[in-house]
Structure formats: structure tokens, C-alpha cells
Amino acid sequence: MNTAAFFDIDGTLYREGLITEVFKKLVKYEIIPAERWYKEVKPEYDRWDKRKGNYDNYLLKMADIYIEAVKGLHRSQIEFIAKNVVAQKGDRVYSYTRDRIKWHKENGHKILTVSGSPVELVKEMAIKYEFDDYVGAVYTRDENDVYTGEVIPMWDSESKKNSIHMLVKKYGINLDRSYAYGDTSGDFSMMKMVGYPTCVNPTRELLKEVLDDAELSKKINIIVERKDMIYKLKAGDIK
């Protein structure tokens, strides 16, 4: 059976949320009114930036507005934006995660990404970093490839678990020998499922879930990358 490495993208490989960059493009092209950023999204960002709010709330607020914004747009419009975002911002990644992708490739592991970002974005990042396969949030389209305003999410833990089960069957993966990398509570199921889990710059919510799980806390690796330094921790190092 194959060994695999499952990667989240937003906050794990990419240094922020890719949907943030798409959101900015949609504002630039006047698909999303600029005032929605200032009135609805920025307050959530400011609360998180000041360590008074939840990072997931900030991302989910953008996702809610994104669902509304893409309704009625054609697939080609979002694909054009996704290609531009990755071309312009795709190198803005954590060096630790980039190096781990390289290490897994050198060792013949399947490199897979399960991300809560729109699948159009996930596809472009998967191409850039040569992932073997990818799963992202699917914003549904009608028979004319026009977005309907509905979404099949991939940012929650249950959805990611189901996708990993699908990939396990598709590629004949041995989870006990496999790896997972994530940063938010949506990645908790990935941590639980594999033999070698790693939190990369984890949110407080994910770290709490990990530390409260006796079995997981024994095997988890915790990576904190700041500027040009990488700190490797174990659960026992966290107070």
C-alpha cells in the first residue's frame, strides 16, 4: 500500500488564506462592493489580528460573501482569477511546508491536498506544486457552467475526513504510514487519521483539540515558523 502526505493549503502551505486574494480580486473587478470588505470582513480580520477573535470566523465571513458574489458568474471568470492569483502570489508559502513537499516527493509518497479553498484555486496550487491529486470546496454550476450560489464545503473536519477516505480507496493508501499537515480545527480529522500528524502554525482552536486528545497529543508534531526561524515542538512543550 502507498504512503501519502495530506496537505491543507491555507495557512499551512500558503502563508494566509488564498480566498483572501480572490476576494481582493473580486473587489478590484467590482464584483464585490468594496464597502462589504470594510463593513463585514475587516471587523472580523481586525478582531483576529488583535487576538480577540477567531481566525475561522474571518475566513467563513469571506466565504459567505464569496458564495453570493460568484452566483451568476461563468466558470471561465473564476478560473481566470484563480490563475492570476496563483501566478502572482503562489510563491508566498512557508519554507517548512515547501521543503516537506520536496521530501515526500523524494521518498516516493503520494502528495495530496485537501483544502477549504475554492477548487479552482486548489487546482492551480496543485499544478504549481505538483500534487498527485487535490480536493477543494466545490461551488456548483449549472449546465451552462454558471455558478448557482450553492457550495459543497471542504473547510470542516467532517468533509475533510470523507475526502481522505475517498483518496485512500483511490490510491490504496496506508494511513498508519501516512502524514498530514494542517493549521485549523477543520484539519483535526486529518491529524487523527494518520500515523504522522503535524500542526503548522496552528490556531488556538486546533491546538486545544489536539492537546485534549490523549492519543493524538502523543504523536503530534507542532511547527511554528516565524521570519526565517522554524521551531519544532511536542505537545509537552505547550503550556
Give the helix ranges, DSSP H, for the chain: 18-28, 34-36, 42-49, 55-70, 75-89, 95-106, 119-128, 157-171, 188-193, 204-211, 214-219
Q: Which amino acid is at 148?
A: T
Confidence at residue 239, expressed as pLDDT on a 0 to 100 scale: 63
Distances (CA, A) of 90 to 87, 106, 129, 158, 162: 6, 22, 9, 27, 27
Confidence at residue 37, expressed as pLDDT on a 0 to 100 scale: 72
Are the C-beta atoms of 231 and 212 separated by less than 8 Å?
no
Are the C-beta atoms of 113 and 126 separated by less than 8 Å?
yes
Please give the average pLDDT of every successive group of 10 residues along the chain, which has 239 residues.
94 86 83 78 77 74 82 91 92 96 97 93 95 94 92 86 95 97 92 96 90 92 92 81
- Helix H or strand E encompassing 37: none
**Into how many domains does the chain fold?**
1
Confidence at residue 133, expressed as pLDDT on a 0 to 100 scale: 97
| Nearby residues of 75 by Cβ (< 8 Å), 6 or more positions away | 120, 141, 145, 146, 147
- Helix H or strand E encompassing 133: strand 133-141
DSSP-based three-state secondary structure for 14: strand
Confidence at residue 227, expressed as pLDDT on a 0 to 100 scale: 84
Residue 131 sits in a domain whose CATH number is 3.40.50.1000
Confidence at residue 69, expressed as pLDDT on a 0 to 100 scale: 84
CA separation for the pair 207, 160 (Å, rounded): 18
Are the C-beta atoms of 85 and 93 separated by less than 8 Å?
no
pLDDT digits (tens, 9 = 90+) for 120-179: 999 999 999 999 999 999 999 999 999 998 888 888 888 899 999 999 999 999 999 999
Confidence at residue 169, expressed as pLDDT on a 0 to 100 scale: 96
Provide the domain limits for residue 225.
Answer: 4-237
Confidence at residue 197, expressed as pLDDT on a 0 to 100 scale: 97
CA separation for the pair 13, 90 (Å, rounded): 10
* 198 CB neighbour count, 10 Å cutoff: 25
Q: Whole-prediction pTM value?
A: 0.91
Reference 148, options 69, 80, 33; nearest CA is 69
CA separation for the pair 171, 25 (Å, rounded): 36
Reference 209, options 56, 17, 43, 6; nearest CA is 56
